[in-house]
Structure 1
Amino acid sequence: MIKAGIIGASGYTGGELMRLLLGHPEVNVTVATSRKLAGTDVCDTHAHLRGLVDLEFQNVGAGEVRSRCDVVFAAVPHGTAMDIVPHLIDGKTKVIDLSADYRLRTDIFESVYGLKHKDPREAVFGLPELHPEVADAGFVANPGCFPTGAVLAAAPLAKAGLISSVVFDSKSGITGAGVEPSQTSHYPNMAENVQAYKLTTHRHVAEFVQELSRLDNSLTNISFTPHVVPSIRGILTTSHIFTREKLKLEDVRSMYEEMYADKPFVRVIKGIPSLGAVRGSNFCDIGFEVDRHNNRIVVVSAIDNLVKGASGQAIQNMNIMCGFDEIEGLWNAATFP
């Protein structure tokens, strides 16, 4: 049994980490930090954990968390993790950062996020389906929620060098904006409404480019527009993938099924994925149709942004890093309806 710590445990991702780790037979959460809520019961904030988690939030330094844990999840805002991670890494403790601070090359991070990076070390990009090196890593940067669904949707065609351009259109639940209320999460603004934002400038594009260009370094024509929809959880991404040649549906299906044959959390389905089929689970469902008149493949992916898009994927990475079965603690059906 290993001990896990969560730094920044009061938000949605912290609560989701604790919920999922309750079902993990090899892990106990022993430290949950929050500066604002130190000394209060975790269950006063995460009411869904009442009777299941007996912890108080603590305000302790990263070094102390490291000394008390075998694995540490850093669930803190962008720009904050770089102050914490250097005090966690000691060559023994496994560290998984859920912020954006270590996902990108330092110069790209500084350009995209407008911050000077204080700790320009490299981390393995924690998309396990594309990065087998997670198994040997001591430090992993968990991907963003939008890139997870989008990159998995396009990866087989990118790997085959068949994409000339791709346009990602994503619809995200409100929890993607975090636990702090905002105009985009205020009920009167969101009920019966859909809001597009950052039409051409969303910072996750850098992760799309980084990961898809790893598979095909000639692929640079990548566009993305996100929307917020009146749903609590989930990201549905419609990928308009324009190909260099005409493809048959059977050929596309073969590429996807071959690439994801041994990837337990990617389900290549016949039909159109839905958020209801993945809600609360670590699965990414992928479906597609071929538009042969326009050399276009329409690929739809569905994930839960708090699970496969954040906390579940972090636990998937932890499992691989620690030598556990990849599906341990995560092999659960979605909560439908």
Structure 2
Amino acid sequence: MKVRVAVFGASGYAGEELLRILLRHKNAEVAAITSRKSAGEPVSTVFPRFTGAPLVFCEPDVEAIASKCDAAILALPHGLATEYAIPLLNAGIKVFDISADFRLRSPEKYKEYYKADHPAPELLRKAVYGLPERYREQLRTADLVACAGCYPTSSILPTAPLLAAGLVSPKGIVVASCSGVTGAGRKVDLPYIFPECNESLKAYGVVGHRHLPEIEQEMAVAAGVPEMAINFIPHLAPMNRGINSTIVMDAMPGTTLEKIGEVYAQAYGSEQFVRILPPGRTSDTKYVFMTNTCEIGYNLDPHTNKVIVTSCIDNLTKGAAGQAVQCMNIRFGLDEAEGLL
């Protein structure tokens, strides 16, 4: 079985990563790649690494593309994905969106953080959150998948099992994350050019970052509480790709390193794309580079009674393109790891 895949917005960093994965995928055929700016150009003109691939960028004409694909992956800016998702869904295409358009279940939260009414609030209820380790069964029948964001993936995977098991408090959680510059997208913008980023590490968006409600939403689901409030402190790191999150949580009475290890083993022992380190070790972006793996380290500080967890992913793979392909594999009944190992 070959799944015919269209990639909308294929000329960005996430689009490039999608092509890297899909072109080696045994059960996928890239049916179309769109880019308004590069329409008509061979893929090798924009990405020389794909020289020899018989692909040409085209205009994002939904009607023309829908007739020749089974799945569409939307690597589009936030706010634009909905415009394409609606007609694609109406045409019977399975949609995997790696923007934030469908991740929040609450239209009110969407308006609060994105400063606009959601154009299709009914789809927020229909969308399945695209984090396979948490929603695998729902993904098997999903028509619209809201792939989890990069910062949220690195925050939710290490915390959800501990919250669900009652080993940490849902109150007072602090997430400090560092992201590579590709997380800002493929654009020319002063804060992201080499002389500005190199030899520099700085926090930004320390209050009200757009990924905050997504993280809180999924942490609350795991903890079994209506809402949560955390501190999320993102940083821009002088590297191309990767995310390193350090998460500090209050330990609940009776929490031990052994119990933390047992909970992680139960949650992720059979997961191909989550690697739990031995207690006391910390995760490193170097070991998840260009992989779909989330690496998690954990410790317990008796001095402050804090559980300290570190988590690393590649923001373009497990945080975007790899996540989408993993979700697509599940939806079409394929080997979940196809194209990703």
| TM-score bin (small chain) | over 0.9
Q: What pairs up with 1:1-337 in 2 under 5 angstroms?
A: 1-51=2-52, 53-90=53-90, 92-105=92-105, 106-120=107-121, 121=123, 122-132=126-136, 133-164=138-169, 165-218=172-225, 220-270=228-278, 271-331=281-341
Gaps in structure 2 of 5+ consecutive residues: none
- Cα deviations by residue, 1:284-323 (Å, 9 ceiling, x for unpaired): 0001111123221110001000000000000000000000
- Identical residues among aligned pairs (%): 39
Contact 2:100 2:146 in 1 (8 A): yes
Deviations 1:52-103 (A, max 9, x none): x211100141232221101110111001011111110037421101111111
Residue identity opposite 1:250 in structure 2 = E
Backbone CA RMSD of aligned residues: 1.3
Shift of 1:116: 1.9
Give yes or no for contact 2:217–2:228 (8 Å, CA) kept in 1.
no
TM-score, normalised on structure 1? 0.95
**Cα distance per residue 1:232-263 (max 9 Å; x no partner):** 00000001111222421111111111111222
Q: Find the aligned partners of 2:101 and 2:128 in 1 and give their Cα distance.
A: 12
Cα distance in 2 for partners of 1:320, 1:59 equals: 29
SS of equivalent to 1:72:
strand
Q: Which ranges of 4 or more aligned residues in structure 1 deviate by more than 4 Å?
A: none
**CA distance in 2: counterparts of 1:330 and 1:308, whole angstroms:** 10
Shift of 1:135: 1.1
Partner of 1:334: none
Separation (CA, whole Å) in 2 of partners of 1:82 and 1:63: 15
The 2-side partners of 1:264 and 1:63 are apart by: 37
Could you tell which deviates more after superposition, 222-231 or 211-220? 211-220
User: What is the alpha-carbon distance in structure 2 between the residues aligned to residue 243 and residue 67 of structure 1?
Assistant: 53
Q: Which amino acid aligns with 1:295?
A: N
Question: How many residue pairs are counted as aligned between the two chains?
Answer: 330
Q: Matches of 1:221 and 1:201 in 2, distance apart?
A: 11
Question: How far is 1:46 from its partner?
Answer: 1.3
| Aligned-partner Cα distance in 2 for 1:243–1:62 | 50
Secondary structure of 2:90's counterpart equals coil
C-alpha distance after superposition, 1:146-177 (max 9, x if no partner): 00011001111111133323100001000000
Determine helix, strand or coil for the equivalent of 1:117: coil
8 Å Cα contact 1:43-1:50 kept in structure 2: yes
My pick for the range that moved more, 281-290 or 163-172, is 163-172
Task: Give the gaps of 5 or more residues in structure 1.
Answer: 332-337
What is the identity, as a one-letter code, of the residue corresponding to 2:148? P
- Looking at structure 1, the residues matched to 192 and 22 of structure 2 have their Cα atoms a distance apart, in angstroms, of 27
Residue identity opposite 1:252 in structure 2: I
Gap change, CA 1:143 and 1:36, over 3 Å in 2: same
Contact 2:292-2:317 within 8 A present in 1 as well: yes
CA distance in 1, matches of 2:247, 2:48: 37
Moved more, 288-297 or 67-76: 288-297
Counterpart Cα distance in 1 of 2:60 and 2:317: 26
CA contact (8 A) 2:113 2:208 kept: no
**2:301 & 2:91 partners in 1: Cα distance?**
50
Q: TM-score, normalised by structure 2?
A: 0.94
Secondary structure of the corresponding residue to residue 304 of structure 2:
coil
Counterpart secondary structure, 2:140? helix
Q: Is the 8 A contact 2:131 2:148 kept in 1?
A: yes
Q: Give me the whole-angstrom Cα distance separating, in 1, the residues matched to 2:43 and 2:274.
A: 32
- Structure 1 residue 183: deviation in Å? 2.6
